[in-house]
Amino acid sequence: MSQNLYPSFGVLLVDDEAPFLRSLSIALERRGGISHIFRCEDSREALGMIAREPIGLVLLDLTMPHLSGEALLQRIVEEHPDVGVIIISGLNQLETAVSCIRQGAYDYFIKTTEEDRLIEGIRKAIRMQEMRLENQEMRRRFLSDTLERPEVFEGIITRDKGMRSVFQYLEAVSASSQPVLISGESGTGKEAIAHAVHALSGRSGPLVSVNVAGLDDNIFADTLFGHHRGAFTGADKARAGMIEQAGSGTLFLDEIGDLSLASQVKLLRLLQEGEYYPLGSDRPKRMRARVLVATHHNLEQKQRAGAFRKDLYYRLRTHQVELPPLRQRRDDTGLLLEYFLAQAAEELGRNKPTFPRELPVLLHNYAFPGNVRELRALCYDALSQHRGGVLSMEVFRRAVGQGAAVPEPEHEASTRSLFAPDQPLPSLQEVADLLVAEAMQRAQGNQSLASRLLGISQPALSKRLKKSQPE
């Protein structure tokens, strides 16, 4: 795309006063960042423009020759019910305003109303229209279970249904200009998802990434907003901030859960106003980039604890995806093992080794606290030590032996019972038999792996299995 228009749908201004159309267009672009604008001075041509162009919102005057605003409103509601309409009139009449709202207008403004209120009302209508279109698109994609641009996700190796749902959701909201919150444990692929969102959006600018963990308030402001020469001691020359470097692209703020409260205020204002001040400047600049944020923290818990602003949290979660940990994507471990071994072999200039059949089973039963990143590191480590023949399982066995199961959250562990409270408890022998059967099922019949899962020797497991067999 040569340029990024906001919003993704067109905003049609209909008024017979050409000077007002020009001034409103300029105000919308400069003060509201709204650039996808169409103008119509003859109300009789408005319906034709709505049919030809991708119009999603109409700003409509009431008092016009030929076809009045109220008559045009009625026809738009009947013929184009998906198009929103805002009335901007010189008439300050309550009865007329109520009549227009009843006919289907989204809002009613007076031309003499202060400009800030008018522009904010239009931006709010745009956000509502974006959400309605996104909901329609999500329903269509989930019902058809399709991906229109699967090539964007080729670098994310998975066949998990939960991940596929994430991809479908991201496709549905790709045209939006609203922030996207990407959450998930460390190593689940949040940065890869950010790259996919940027590719889906088709934005003309680059993806600029900033890890905000550990940045104090002053460095955060300078990093994002930039500064003018002489703004502070040592500022010998002007420097463009990351927002300006992103241009019409995407700004990705990683580890947003570690942002200080003072910096959270600055980020909130940036998202609300779409404007920022470089350090040492009293003239605002408009942000054209889309903002993506990522965190491994539970922001809802942090805002309840007072460590994260509630208003910023709700602003960020307009669009939100939660990436499942690898222990919930167990069917992906075999795919990822193959992929990372091939990738490591190519980088190290070696042939991809064969591996024991029990290796995927071993990994299938490992909790992977480091998720995909940990599996990748294990594959590279194993291949770097490989000297020929079948790949040794020693690196993987050490990880599985040292890695404890990932603990459940305290509030879940304290309220969940292993046994139904209205049923009698099983005997120790029954529990032991059930555990052995489950371990053998997870190990796919491999006694060596099953004994590791149970923490006993293979002869001890074999003895138990023989005892449990009917005579």
Topology of domain 327-402, per CATH? Helicase, Ruva Protein; domain 3 (1.10.8)
Residue 392, CA distances (Å) to 336, 346, 358, 370, 396 in order: 17, 19, 11, 21, 8
Strand partners, 12: 38, 58
Distance CA 407, CA 20 (A): 63
The CATH class of 145-324 is alpha beta
Q: Which CATH number fits domain 425-468: 3.40.50.920, 1.10.730.10, 1.10.10.60, 3.50.30.30?
A: 1.10.10.60
Give the residue-averaged pLDDT of 315-333.
93
pLDDT the model gives residue 346: 93
According to the model, what pLDDT value does residue 168 have?
A: 92
Above 60 in pLDDT, residue 411? Answer: no
State the CATH class of domain 10-129: alpha beta
What is the domain partition of the chain in residue ranges? 10-129, 145-324, 327-402, 425-468
pLDDT digits (tens, 9 = 90+) for 151-203: 999 999 999 999 999 999 999 898 888 999 999 999 999 999 999 999 999 89
At residue 388, does pLDDT exceed 50?
A: yes
* Closest C-alpha to 4, from 249, 218, 313, 357: 249
Which of 62-66, 264-268, 439-443 is least confident? Answer: 439-443
SS (H, E, C) 335-384: HHHHHHHHHHHHHHCCCCCCCCCHHHHHHHCCCCCCHHHHHHHHHHHHHH
pLDDT at 78: 92
**C-alpha count within 13 angstroms, C-beta hemisphere, residue 196:** 28
Q: Do domains 10-129 and 425-468 have the same CATH topology?
A: no
Residue 332: both structure tokens together: 């992906």
Residue 410: the pLDDT is: 44
